[in-house]
Amino acid sequence: MAAQTPRILIAHCGVDASPEFITTAVEGLDTFDQTIVTSTGTELRSTLADLGREDTENLHIVVMPMTSGRNLPLIADTAKTCQWFKRNHSNVRIALAAPPLGATTTLAFLRATLRRETSADDIAVICSAAIDPFADAELFRIARLAWTHSSGADVVVAFDDVYPSVSQTLAPYKATLDDESLRPTRRSTVIRADLQTAENQKPLITSTALATAISQSAKTALHLLQSHDDDGIEAALLADHEHGYAHSHGEEDGGHGHSHGHVHGHGHHHHGHVHGHSHGHGHNHHHHHHSADVHTEFDLGNIDADATE
């Protein structure tokens, strides 16, 4: 009988994911022989280097960026590290899995929490760690969509460490909050939109549901690697390609515009793996990036957005 392939999962956290919360979620995942949680690029690179030095035959590593979908630079940076490892360790097979949540699943969990935790008279604060101006702006769009078809509560946005904070966001409503003379009493509820946790704030997702999402993505990455030789790295390198300001090198630079091929990543609801194909169409080269076209979504059939622990 052939020896079982050793499997290791590395859950790589950005600023929008709590290593402690992620550690709780990945404990007990039976798909992998070992799970490791990293929280900086240096730590991820060091962890991979250590694994590459081990004399383990046919080792398979799955690396998963821990984000609720808005941290596109994290996905791209993680892909670069995986690419570096792949080039230098041909004896180890490595795959980059899609994040556990994408825009659609994050929206579903936010709506479920709004319906469960708020009423039409309340104020719901959708809160997240600040990622970058573009990812933060995306949160306002998601919050607006979450408000649609939810409880009817007023929905506002706040961040942990930049303007507007939770207290700044709630300041205009202070006179009416918890006023016992009002019937019903108006309450405020803070709901996370990332994979961080905080006291007196509702998490975006329970650790049990997060474990399910992580398991789905990791199994998909293993399947695509082993059965289709698709490691998910190439397309993820461009996850943040259209994320940010767009500055054309066209007429403003003397009319010497140039073009290059553009990779579009197409996420599929049935497996959620980030992969894509190249289109050789030309367009003006952008010095920075604008909105992304990499989608990482999952089938919600196996994840209960209304689940509570």
Question: What is the tens place of the pLDDT at every residue in 59-87?
Answer: 999 999 999 999 999 999 999 999 999 99
Confidence of residue 246 (pLDDT cuts 50, 70, 90): low
252 Cβ partners below 8 Å, 6+ apart?
A: none
Whole-prediction pTM: 0.78
Q: Which of 10-14, 201-205, 292-296 has the lowest mean pLDDT?
A: 292-296
Distance CA 192, CA 128 (A): 6
Q: 248 or 198: whose pLDDT is higher?
A: 198
Q: Which of 300, 89, 88 is nearest to 213 (CA)?
A: 300
Distance CA 160, CA 130 (A): 7
Q: 167 or 287: whose pLDDT is higher?
A: 167
pLDDT reading at 296 higher than 90? no
64 Cβ partners below 8 Å, 6+ apart?
A: 9, 10, 11, 12, 96, 97, 98, 99, 100, 214, 217, 218, 221
Q: Which of 20, 22, 24 is nearest to 11 (CA)?
A: 22
Q: Which residues on adjacent β-strands are paired with residue 248? A: 286
Taking residues 32-61, what's their average pLDDT?
94
Residues above pLDDT 90, as percent of the chain: 66
CA 230 to mean position of chain CA atoms? 20
Note the pLDDT tens digit of each residue in 120-162. 999 999 999 999 999 999 999 999 999 998 999 999 999 998 9
Handedness of CA 28, 31, 34, 36 (dihedral sign): negative
- At residue 181, the pLDDT reads 78
φ, ψ of residue 35 in degrees (nearest 5): -120, 135
Confidence of residue 183 (pLDDT cuts 50, 70, 90): low
Q: Where are the alpha helices (DSSP H) in the chain?
A: 19-26, 41-53, 72-88, 103-117, 133-147, 166-170, 207-228, 233-236
Q: 268 or 12: whose pLDDT is higher?
A: 12
Taking residues 217-239, what's their average pLDDT?
93
Distances (CA, A) of 65 to 62, 119, 286: 10, 34, 26
Distance CA 275, CA 265 (A): 5
Token reading at 147:
């408000």
